[in-house]
């Protein structure tokens, strides 16, 4: 079990941008609240089962799928560092840039 989860500045900004987009698009925060809850539940699951994510090219880096989004994270000893929340409908080559940071 992991002791703590750290959201990087980029991941927090990604999450905030996604929420702001859905608030503007739907003119309501109902879906945004559901999405935030899904992100929160996913991070709770990661805390209990850090290896649950899909492994990707980089050592100790995985992704957890939440609806149309990937939570990209790296396991570091007793910590999970969330690197990005990435919309899976984007160009996949952009994900490579995030992963290889």
- Reported as a single tens digit per residue, the pLDDT across 19-59 is 999 999 999 999 999 999 999 999 999 999 999 999 987 77
| The CA-based dihedral angle spanning residues 13, 17, 18, 19, taken in that order and rounded to the nearest 10 degrees | 100
CATH placement of domain 4-99: 3.30.2310.20
- Reported as a single tens digit per residue, the pLDDT across 59-86 is 789 999 999 999 999 998 899 999 999 9
State the sign of the Cα–Cα–Cα–Cα dihedral 78, 84, 89, 92.
negative
| pLDDT of 100 | 67
On the question of pLDDT at 7 being above 70, the answer is: yes
Report strand pairing: 69-76 vs 54-55.
Answer: unpaired
**What DSSP line would sit under 34-69, residue for residue?**
HHHHHHHHHHHHHHH-GGGSEE-SSTTEEEEEETTE
pLDDT band at 92 (very low <50, low <70, confident <90, very high): confident
Nearest-angstrom CA–CA distance, 37 and 4:
18
Domain boundaries, the chain: 4-99
Q: Which comes out higher in pLDDT, residue 37 or 88?
A: 37
């Amino acid at each position: 079990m992991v002791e703590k989860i750290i959201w990087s500045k980029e991941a927090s900004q990604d999450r905030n941008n996604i929420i702001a987009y859905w608030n503007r698009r739907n003119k309501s925060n109902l879906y945004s609240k559901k999405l935030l809850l899904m992100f929160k539940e996913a991070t709770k699951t990661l805390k209990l089962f850090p290896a649950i994510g899909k492994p990707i090219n980089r050592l100790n880096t995985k992704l957890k799928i939440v609806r149309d989004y990937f939570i990209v994270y790296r396991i570091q000893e007793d910590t999970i560092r969330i690197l990005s929340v990435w919309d899976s409908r984007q160009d996949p080559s952009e994900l490579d840039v995030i992963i290889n940071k």
